[in-house]
């Protein structure tokens, strides 16, 4: 079965320190991978995606993610965290073979808490 | 401003009373979808639509209906709501070729079914 795992319910970091939010996936075939962020009382906002090409992708607000095919991972990173980065982060995957259904499989979400 | 608009944002109602949550997008997107968000479960897809008059079930369609009569609107209908449908609901849309396009989400509708 296709699945996405975010092994940490919460990640705590100090402002200015690097942050990593982990995501691993299990899909058959090539994956399309996405990260979204959700602020309180708001919908999900797109951060970045990996479709093909360079394994390191850069996105909004200084975030980046590295696609690792051998480890089936797509961890979200930022070199220097801000208090305003505190939010709920979702990893999502779509097997390429699903075509244009647009369907996504979401992880359970990771709360990022950045302390001043 | 490009956006996906859901109404209402909050609703408390009782078991069995039909309700509709509206969703409208102003980006001329072909693809639209409904998700529910529950703690510890992430988002699960309820229904999706590839275009006008084309809809299909997602992972958790039981107890829900949808329609896509116009490109911009994709209402979610609960004919006979039950307490297990208490949840946070999101509508999303993306452009054609939904394969690798990010989805744009509304701000959510929090439903409480008593």
Residues A20-43 have pLDDT tens digits of 999 999 988 888 999 999 998 888
Both structure tokens of B44: 């699960």
Q: For residues B25 and A41, which has the higher predicted lDDT (pLDDT)?
A: B25
Task: Give residue B96's pLDDT band: very low, low, confident or very high (50, 70, 90).
Answer: low
Nearest residue of B to residue A39, measured between CA atoms: B107
Q: Provide the pLDDT for residue B91.
A: 96
Residues B43-85 have pLDDT tens digits of 999 999 988 999 999 999 999 999 999 999 999 999 999 999 9
CB count, 10 Å around CB of B106?
25
Beta carbons of B107 and A43 less than 8 angstroms apart: yes
Both structure tokens of A92: 């999502």
Given an 8 Å threshold on Cβ–Cβ distance, is B105 in contact with A45? yes
CA A73, A74, A78, A79 torsion: positive or negative? positive
Cα B66–Cα B74–Cα A90 angle in degrees, nearest 5: 95
Alpha carbons A34 and A25: distance in angstroms, whole number: 11
Alpha carbons B19 and A43: distance in angstroms, whole number: 21
Q: Provide the pLDDT for residue B11.
A: 96
Given an 8 Å threshold on Cβ–Cβ distance, is B42 in contact with A90? yes
């Amino acid at each position: 079965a296709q699945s996405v795992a975010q092994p940490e319910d919460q990640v705590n970091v100090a402002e200015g320190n690097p942050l990593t939010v982990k995501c691993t996936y299990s899909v058959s075939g090539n994956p399309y991978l996405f990260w979204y962020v959700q602020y309180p009382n708001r919908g999900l906002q797109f951060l970045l995606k990996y479709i093909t090409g360079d394994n390191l992708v850069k996105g909004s607000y200084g975030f980046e993610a590295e696609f690792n095919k051998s480890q089936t991972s797509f961890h979200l990173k930022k070199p220097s965290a801000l208090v305003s980065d505190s939010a709920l982060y979702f990893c999502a995957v779509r097997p390429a073979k699903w075509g244009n259904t647009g369907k996504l499989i979401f992880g359970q979400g990771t709360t990022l808490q950045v302390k001043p | 401003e490009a956006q996906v608009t859901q109404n209402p944002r909050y609703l408390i109602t009782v078991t069995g009373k039909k309700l509709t949550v509206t969703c409208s997008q102003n980006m001329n997107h072909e693809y639209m979808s409904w998700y529910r968000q529950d703690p510890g479960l992430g988002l699960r897809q309820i229904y999706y639509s590839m275009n006008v008059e084309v809809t299909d079930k997602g992972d958790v369609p039981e107890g829900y209906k949808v329609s896509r009569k116009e490109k911009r609107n994709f209402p979610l209908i609960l004919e006979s709501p039950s307490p297990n449908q208490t949840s946070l609901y999101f509508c999303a849309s993306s452009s054609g070729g939904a394969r690798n396009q990010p989805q744009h989400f509304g701000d959510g509708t929090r439903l409480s079914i008593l």
